[in-house]
Amino acid sequence: MGIVLPFGLGVGVSLIIYNVMKSDLHTSFGPFTVFIGVALSITAFPVLARILAERKLLTTEVGVFNMV
């Protein structure tokens, strides 16, 4: 779920971006959606959130600072 949920959210974001910037983009919808979904799902934020959750650091000062 650490990759699936961010990928799904990335696909949702890509739908919005593609519709807003459709005239400026020179690519088809499929590759654009996959690229944005993958780019957002493998970034450091989901990894950082999972590490903080596993180490039970989300409610500490360090965890709160990193999630802002």
Q: List, for residues 18-68, the tens digit of each pLDDT value.
A: 888 877 777 888 888 888 888 877 766 777 777 778 888 777 776 666 555
pTM (whole model) above 0.75: no
**pLDDT band of 12, cuts 50, 70, 90:** very high
Task: Give the pLDDT of residue 3.
Answer: 79
Which of residues 47 and 5 earns the better pLDDT score? Answer: 5
Assess contact for 14 and 37: CB atoms under 8 A.
yes
φ/ψ of residue 58, rounded to 5: -65, -30
Token pair listed for 21: 């910037």
